[in-house]
Every structure is written in C-alpha cells, then in structure tokens.
Structure 1
Amino acid sequence: MSRQTNLAAQTAFAQAVMEGDLDALDKVVAPGSIDHDPAPNQGAGPEGYKAMFTELRTAFPDLKVEVEHLLATDDELAFAYTISGTHRGQLMGHPPTGKRVSYRGMQISRFDGDGMLVERWGSSDELGMLRQLGLAAVAAPQP
C-alpha cells in the first residue's frame, strides 16, 4: 500500500470522528482490526471504535483532534496529536463540568493492502484530561 493511501485513510478516520459520522469508520477500519491499547470496554474492529468515539463525542461535542507530527511508511503511520474539547456530557459516569480540556497522545497505525486499519498501538494522556476536569487528584510534590 502507498503512503498516500494510508494518509487518506487516516484523514478519513479523523474526519469521521470530528464530524460525528462514525459509520464512515466501516470504510477505513478492517472488521478484525486489533487495538493493542484499547479504551476500557472497547470492542474490536469498527464497532469498537464507534462505541468509544460515541462516548467521547457525547462527553465532548466540540471534540477536535489536531495532528501535529506525522511519519508514514508504505504500511504504517506514526503521529502525535492533541485532543481538545469542552466537557458538556457524561464521561465515565461523571456529569459535565463545562471545563475545556486539551491533552496529547501518540499512535502507530498499520494498514493492509486495501488501505484498511488493521492494527493500532497508542496512548493518550487520559489522566491529564481527568485532572483538567477536576476528576483526578494531583499528587502532592515529594520533598
């Protein structure tokens, strides 16, 4: 697969998430896609991503994902990104705080010969996000 095809697939993935058109993920995520670092209770394949991003978009209706650094090979993409949004819906059982968050993450995505996402490795600063919302304590400095 070409770098351009993979970039187009990743762009379509991000656009689907930001616009809330999560059914479009069926076009870029393989049915048996594996997320090596899934969100809690995230299922496999496109349905797992749809459920996870539905919850995130419910909590942050103005969700924005901005890619800041991107490297591409013929079958993989690696990128750093920032997620931002305003907490206006329930998140992990917590009511909306109205607070704005911004937190970073990194991801590696592997694509098959048809440009479908088949594997993902990644991490984002969920603890930092929860701290910004006042939902996680900040540790006291150690002497």
Structure 2
Amino acid sequence: MGIEDNKRVVKRFEELVAARDVERLDELCTPDMVNHALAPGRPAGLAGTREFLTTMAQLFENDHFDSSYVVAEGDLVVQFGVRSGHWKGGNLFGFPAQSGNYARDVAFAYRIADGRIAERWAIRDDLGMLRQLGALPN
C-alpha cells in the first residue's frame, strides 16, 4: 500500500473514534495491534482500545479536531493538530476536573501494516487540559 492509502486508514480511524464505532476496530487494526497510548491497567491491544473508546465516550462530548495535519513516510503516519471538546466532569488522569470546554495540542503516530493499524502512539497536552478544567493551577 502507498502513502496516500496509509493516510486514508488514519482518516478512517479518526472517523471511527469520533463515532465511537468500536465494531469497526477489527476492520482497521491488526489483531495484534499495540496501542502504546493506553493507560496502565487497561487491557492491551484491541481490547484496551475498545474499552477506552467505550468508557471515555461517557466522559467526553463533541471531541474533534479543530485542525489536523497528516504526514506520512513509508508505513508511518503522524497526525498533529488541536482537539477540542467538552469534558463532562469527574476524575481526569487522577485529578478531579470540573465540567468544561477544552482545546489541546495532540500528536498521534501510527505504523500501518497491510492496510491496517499495527501500532499507535499518542502525545497529548494533558497538563494544559487539566489546567483549562481547573484541576491544576495555571
């Protein structure tokens, strides 16, 4: 598969995440996918990704990319941008965070194998988000 095909896989994954369509994970990800972005204590791979999408859907509303840039080289794809949305309130990364809107920089990296996501990494400005939601002082 070519670079443009790999970018389309990431775009389809982004749409899956927005829709919380966990049924399509098997279609877009390899059975042994490694999701390096999962929190400790979550199951590995597809099971943990499915659990994350299911549980976090209850806490986030309207999370989406305000801007997104995608670059690819070989089987690697990186997506960088600003994601924003509404946090419903509650425990966020171990801190009590009030309900509110947020916007944070994010970068996601993917390794594509045979047209499916084999690995995923996430780099997010969680500290900035916690500050926006009043969980930490500015």
What TM-score comes out, normalization by structure 2 length?
0.84
CA distance in 2, matches of 1:32, 1:136: 37
Q: Deviations over 1:111-132 (max 9, x none)?
A: 112x111112331011111111
- % same residue: 27
Q: Which structure has the bigger radius of gyration?
A: 1
What stretches of structure 2 of length at least 5 have no aligned partner?
none
- 3-state SS in 2 of match to 1:61: strand
Does the C-alpha gap of structure 1 residues 54 and 107 become closer, same or farther in structure 2, counting only changes over 3 Å? same
Partner of 2:99 in structure 1? 98
Distance in 2 between residues matched to 1:109 and 1:15, nearest whole Å: 15
More strand by percentage:
2
Residues 104/36 of structure 1: CA separation in 2 closer, same or farther (3 Å cut): same
TM-score by length of 1: 0.81
How far apart are the structure 2 equivalents of 1:52 and 1:66? 22
Number of aligned residue pairs? 137
- In structure 2, do the counterparts of structure 1 residues 12 and 38 end up closer, same or farther at CA, with 3 Å as the change threshold? same
Change (3 A) 1:56 1:104: farther
Distance 1:13 1:91 in 2: 26
Match of 1:30 in 2: 30
Shift of 1:96: 6.8
Judging changes above 3 Å, is the alpha-carbon distance between structure 1 residues 96 and 121 closer, same or farther for their aligned structure 2 residues?
closer
